[in-house]
Amino acid sequence: MERGGVKVGRLFISAILCVLLMSGKATAGWYHVENYEGTIGSQPVHVSLQTYHGFGSGITVEGSYFYDARQSPIAVYGKLNGTKLALCEISGKEEFDRILVMGSKTPIDTAGCPFSLDIAESGAAGTWSKGDSYPVTLKKVSSMDDTGDTKLDGTIEIPFWAETAADRFAGVYTNTDSGTCMAKMQVIKKSSGRVVQEIAFDDDGCNAGMLMTPIYDNVQKWVEHGKDVISVNFRGGGAGDTEDYVFNRATGKYQQKK
């Protein structure tokens, strides 16, 4: 069971970091996100990047992207220097925990990272290199910024880092009378890329998907008794709260865990 070691620990650490980032800001948030569509070589991709003024070991960007043909989210992190972005891919759970959960104790070197991009207002262009090199062309399709006066442009779908063998998960964020939050979570079947379920949140306080410092960590996966559990994070109540969902084979849907 991962809840005692990984899931709850990550929730506590990120919640504390959020409190520190929010100190001195009564109403502002910490999410500045831009979503892109484009290609790496000839392969269509979707890319989502969250930028910070500075966060942990010099990292100023964290994100998630997936190849449309595979639908498996890939966590990324990097450094933005002016318009130049060096972006690295997370290669496994140990690196994920060290860099994105706990935070590295030493400065992060992005010199050998595969993405080298030039960011513009309308998109980004550059290369992805691992032995072979491929051109990257991205068009900005939506953005969200709640670090000051909240601004949403386009449909904000966040490709969370969490996934199962069969499914990935995306959050649809919107603006309400109570603020900005995740209105619903989509379950996307990897084999087809189709949305097979939408879970809406009846949330008067508009707190869903607004707890973790990286927006991509607001939905997490852990394992209990050999079964995948999908946790949705909510801000509020100090360290926040979660709603847990499990897959029901009889209905073919995720249902809230009792």
Sign of CA dihedral 184, 190, 194, 196: negative
pLDDT tens digits for range 22-51: 433 334 578 999 999 999 999 999 999 999
For 229, the token pair is: 């559990």
- Report the C-alpha gap between 171 and 217 in whole angstroms: 11
pLDDT tens digits for range 83-131: 999 999 998 988 898 888 877 666 778 888 999 999 999 999 999 999 8
Which of the residue ranges 4-18, 59-73, 103-117, 203-217 would you say has the lowest mean pLDDT?
A: 4-18
pLDDT tens digits for range 149-176: 889 999 999 999 999 999 999 999 998 8
Q: Who wins on pLDDT, 114 or 11?
A: 114
Q: What are the beta bridge partners of residue 167?
A: 189
pLDDT tens digits for range 169-227: 999 999 888 889 999 999 999 999 999 999 999 777 899 999 999 999 999 999 999 99
Q: What are the beta bridge partners of residue 132?
A: 130
Which of the residue ranges 13-22, 46-55, 145-154 would you say has the lowest mean pLDDT?
A: 13-22
Answer whether 0.85 is exceeded by the pTM: yes
CA atoms within 13 A on the CB side of 90: 22
Pair 125, 136: CB distance under 8 Å: yes
Q: What is the 3-state secondary structure (H, E, C) of the chain?
A: CCHHHHHHHHHHHHHHHHHHHHCCCCCCCCCEEEEEEEEECCEEEEEEEEECCCCCCCCCEEEEEEECCCCCCEEEEEEEECCEEEEEECCCHHHHHHHHHCCCCCCCCCCCCCEEEEECCCEEEEEEEECEEEEEEEEEEEEEECCCCCEEECCEEEEEEEECCCEEEEEEEEEECCEEEEEEEEEEECCCCEEEEEEECCCCCCCECCCCCCHHHCEEEEEECCEEEEEEEECCCCCCEEEEEEEECCCCEEEECC
Q: What angle do CA 115, 171, 200 make, to 5 degrees?
A: 175
The gap between the terminal CA atoms of the chain, to the nearest Å, is 17
